[in-house]
Structure 1
Amino acid sequence: MGRQGTNAELHVVDERLVGRKPASLSFAEAAALPLTSITAFEALFDRLRAKEPVTGEAPAILIIGGAGGVGSIAVQLARKLTGLTVIATASRPETRAFALELGAHHVVDHRKPIAAEVAALGLGAPPFVFSTTNTEAHLAEIVQLIAPQGRFCLIDDPAAIDVNPFKSKSVSIHWESMFTRSTFATPDMAAQGALLNEVSRLVDQGALRTTLAETFGAINAKNLKRAHKLLESGSSRGKIVLEGFGEAAS
């Protein structure tokens, strides 16, 4: 179809993978949710099985990168849908405040030794650890702080990761990728549509909030570069959204 001299492309999406837009959100606010919500929801409940306690261990979860896009949804889901004490990591005053605002019980500084930071809370060793960023840099600390027979999930792409140190604690290690179900057409693809509808329901009930932090205007080369620059700086919080198509700029 044509529109003012430009071509509008149509994309077919399997209906099992989509959910309802929250009625209470704008399109930009809603656009910040699906990728992060699917990733966080699957990590917490399909991979870590965070509703299934590890016998005798502290009912707590550590979320590394708690003010980032995925972390900011994970903090909310863990707080609202589990009885776990939610420990998030953040390093700057504004990101620490953001994580607490989203529902984290405690925030520790990931620029310091995380194991000591968590131990100082006096809660005991958390059996659940969800790492959203810089896993390779934090791996030794995660090995030290996680409870025996705990569950560890990561979503980033370390250049190399030695899982052998987890053996003595019998820790299970999980990767989460939101595209696994769609890429391999798994029999449970409909789970993504169901979880998105649940997220939509929770948003409209006021139990969850969008983590849209900034809108960078129209989708063009200039604004894409701005967004990538902020993401690469490691200082962004929540999600960045570009909305609509604008004139290309170098």
Structure 2
Amino acid sequence: MKAVLMTAAGSPDVLKVQEITNPGVPVGDTELLVRLVAAGINPIDTKLRQRGTFYPEQMPAVLGCDGAGVVEAVGAGVQRFRPGDAVYFCYGGLGAHQGNYAEFTVVDERFVAHKPNSISFAEAAAAPLVLITAWEALYERGRLEPKDNVLIHAGAGGVGHVAIQLAKLKGANVATTVSSQDKANFVKELGADEVIFYKQTDFVQAALDWTNGEGVDLAFDTVGGETFGKTFPAVRIYGDIVSILEPDPKTVWKVARNRNLRIGLELMLTPMVQGLVESLQHHAEILEQCATWIDQGKLKIHVSHKFPLEEAAKAHQLLESGSITGKIVLLISDE
């Protein structure tokens, strides 16, 4: 089968389309053989390509955590799926288990969800990592409650655009930062109540003005770097701030401490890296619930760019150029 192999750590040029062994059948007792139709591209893919995977001794590697496709064969113990079912999931692509930049993959049924019926395979492939990340960050780390005021950084991005919608589904009020009028229009369509142009406006002051000087109940940092520490004074006393990135080593924690902020760190890849089966099953449960909301028209996935599998390197180049609205997807086979 065709797959995009990462032959070494480095620039996008290390991604090469090659023929590799099809996972084939028979599959394991609870496993599915999936014919992949599309694969999502995420920042973790570009980071692993640049610096090497979590398992450098297992090279070359196939990247890509997000996949969507059709079940081709099932193990003897599989209960929830049958051949022909459309599925989506976030599994593989970190170096140990084959990723989804390929024509086929094998994945345990416990980590897979039924694809939403109302969207394309491309949209489904764009969804899993960002949905799980935003869900865990807002609902579990941030303990978001109805009527809470939440500040979401980079609301037009991959994680940000679904975080806005998940926050609104919870009944929260949402402020978000953007860089352009086009992105402002986009996040307003998603339900954002307050749009902050961070390049022209002090987002801290804007958040305080929006909350009558109190600060937001929850801030969600999807940007990292200096943004994390700069957000502390925008959060109310005893409030929450959650980041999906490692805090800058130069972060000054005094304001967070003085305001008794609760700090949350979110890395949805941890269960895959650590082999936490129950947590991976929980990820599938999240995707099943999100599929229901998608089919009810309550949740949308925005795909801004699509590339054929052979142009994975170009897709990585585009993602690394920055300021992408929504998600980028690789198209592998016909739907």
**TM-score past 0.5 threshold:** yes
- Provide the C-alpha distance between the structure 1 equivalents of 2:142 and 2:110, rounded to a whole number of angstroms: 23
Give the aligned partner of residue 156 of structure 2. 67
Larger Rg, first or second structure (1 or 2): 2
- Asked if the contact 2:217–2:239 (Cα under 8 Å) also holds between the matched residues in 1, the reply is yes
- Does residue 224 of the first structure (1) align with residue 312 of the second (2)? yes
Provide the secondary structure at the position in 1 that maps to 2:309.
Answer: coil
- Asked if the contact 1:87–1:107 (Cα under 8 Å) also holds between the matched residues in 2, the reply is yes
In the superposition, the TM-score normalised over structure 1's length comes to 0.85
Cα distance, 1:101 vs structure 2: 0.8
Q: 1:182 to 1:7 in 2, by over 3 A?
A: closer
Superimposed CA distance per residue, residues 196-228 of structure 1 (whole angstroms, 9 cap, x where no aligned partner): 000111001111111212212x112xx333323
- Provide the C-alpha distance between the structure 2 equivalents of 1:163 and 1:18, rounded to a whole number of angstroms: 41
RMSD over equivalenced CA pairs, Å? 2.3
Give the aligned partner of residue 243 of structure 1. 331
- Runs (4 or more) in structure 1 with deviation over 4 Å come to none
- Provide the C-alpha distance between the structure 1 equivalents of 2:317 and 2:20, rounded to a whole number of angstroms: 29
Give the aligned partner of residue 35 of structure 2. none
In the superposition, the TM-score normalised over structure 2's length comes to 0.65
Q: 1:182 to 1:214 in 2, by over 3 A?
A: same
Amino acid in structure 1 at the alignment position of 2:303: L
Provide the secondary structure at the position in 1 that maps to 2:237.
Answer: coil
Q: 1:6 to 1:68 in 2, by over 3 A?
A: same
- Does residue 48 of the first structure (1) align with residue 142 of the second (2)? yes
- Asked if the contact 1:29–1:212 (Cα under 8 Å) also holds between the matched residues in 2, the reply is yes
**Structure 1 residues 7-16 or 122-131, which shifts more?**
7-16
Give the aligned partner of residue 193 of structure 2. 105
* Greater relative contact order, per chain length (Cα 8 Å cut-off, separation 6+): 1
Provide the secondary structure at the position in 2 that maps to 1:12.
Answer: strand
Superimposed CA distance per residue, residues 113-172 of structure 1 (whole angstroms, 9 cap, x where no aligned partner): 211122233444101000111x22223431111111111111124552526221111111
Identity between Structure 1 and Structure 2 (%): 34
- Does residue 25 of the first structure (1) align with residue 111 of the second (2)? no
- Provide the C-alpha distance between the structure 2 equivalents of 1:139 and 1:66, rounded to a whole number of angstroms: 15
Give the aligned partner of residue 9 of structure 1. 22
Q: Give the counterpart of 2:284 among 177, 193, 198.
A: 193
- Provide the C-alpha distance between the structure 2 equivalents of 1:50 and 1:161, rounded to a whole number of angstroms: 28
Q: Give the counterpart of 1:170 among 238, 246, 260.
A: 260
- Contiguous gaps of at least 5 residues in structure 1: 246-250
